[in-house]
Chain A
Amino acid sequence: MTRLSDNAVSRLRAVVREPDLSRTRYRLAAVAGSGGMGTVYVVEDTELRRRVALKVLDVPDPGIEARLRREAQVLARLEHPGIVPVHDVGALPDGRVFYTMKWVQGDRLDRHLSRTAPFAERLRLFLKITDPVAFAHAQGVLHRDLKPENVMVGAFGEVLVMDWGLAKVLDDADSAAARTTGESAVLGTPGFMSPEQRAGGSAGLDRRTDVYSLGALLEWMAGPDAPPPLRAIWRKATAPDRDDRYADVPALAADVTRFADGAAVSAYAEGPLRRALRVAKRHRIAIGIVLAYLAGRALIFLGTGR
């Protein structure tokens, strides 16, 4: 009997997992990546002659299938430039559920920021992330798994919030999947998960759960050398008690925008010296021009005696 090498075994496993697309309009092109629920492939849409991403479960599982279907349905109702659009949903000959979506070419946020990114660029990206999340909240959808790995940065700086597999539709009495995932299940990613998520269950979660994750994301993106007002923003966003957090994502984004503009932020009570420094920094152009005039005027005064 011939023993197979580990490499050969993993290649065989990949081939076995490969979706049978023979009865669909799609042709396999490449593997884009894999996650907790399944694998994402790059496929060719033979009807429209374009490449799309196809997400499919690795193995048939009725519970996870319902979640994948629900993820597709949630995405379909969220039409926003920061949310990847779904094109199609269906089942493979072997019964596995799949859906296709726009193929986003870019980098995951964690990889994007592993290269040098200026502080202002990080804030700009963060604010772009808050946009689709706020939009989803307005449509009654919580993401519940916001983290660097679930954000894509496109080649032209566009930002897309991905992986809505754990999304919760608020006030959705018909959501079978919400029940499937279990009211006591702990869903999310440690480090970015709110205390109420860690406690388990999805009942009672609201927009402030995503505010917490965005606060944790902001802390991760800004790094340890962030100025105190920004630290105060993420501390408020990640307060253990939901009532101490920002009421919603637009309120958090507004405070980050104020910080980026050099204005006072609601989360931080600054002293007179810091306030004076902030105002001086904000109006540095005007101050610089006046100082340049005064310096020139002083030179003229010294030169002419008047």
Chain B
Amino acid sequence: MNRIAVGILVGGALGILDGLTAWFTPEARAGILGIVFGSTIKGLLAGAIIGLFARKVSSLPWTLAFGTFIGALLASGIAFSMGKHYLEIILPGSLVGLLTGYATIRYGRAPAQQGLSAGR
């Protein structure tokens, strides 16, 4: 599987899980379906962006940093739109980005090297 596909798959799966953990916050339980949906979209988007980055950069440390940053950025958008629960949204979002970054580099197939004559 290529890195973008791994990113989307892992980001989406962790997004679902991230949304489901809102169940442990009693005041969020009523809107759990919306949270899971939004969190999944966020995970898929983060996964695709991180996968694209990993494809270009192919560096574990840089992809971990970028993944954490993208996860935090997308989660911040949601947290600021809600105007509350900043840490509870941003920290797990960053964790999703970090783990997605790790998975894309570790398990995604690196793009094939272009042959020397390919561009000639």
Contacts and interface: CB of A to CB of B under 8 A. Distances in A.
Interface of A: 285-286, 289-290, 292-294, 296-297, 300-301, 304, 306
Given A289-B10, A306-B25, A296 B92 contact: yes
30 contacts: A285-B103, A285-B107, A286-B13, A289-B10, A289-B99, A289-B102, A289-B103, A290-B14, A290-B17, A292-B99, A293-B14, A293-B17, A293-B18, A293-B95, A293-B96, A294-B17, A296-B92, A296-B95, A296-B99, A297-B21, A297-B92, A300-B92, A301-B21, A301-B24, A304-B87, A304-B91, A306-B24, A306-B25, A306-B85, A306-B88
Contacts of B87: 300, 304
Contacts of A296: 92, 95, 99
Q: How many interface residues does chain B have, given as a range?
A: 10 to 19
Contacts of B25: 306
Interface of B: 10, 13-14, 17-18, 21, 24-25, 85, 87-88, 91-92, 95-96, 99, 102-103, 107
5 nearest A-B residue pairs (beta carbon): A296-B95, A306-B88, A300-B91, A306-B25, A304-B87
Nearest to B26: A306
A290 B99 CA distance: 9
Contacts of A301: 21, 24
Nearest to A285: B107
Nearest to B10: A289
Contact of A293 (B24, B85, B88, B99): B99
Nearest to A294: B17
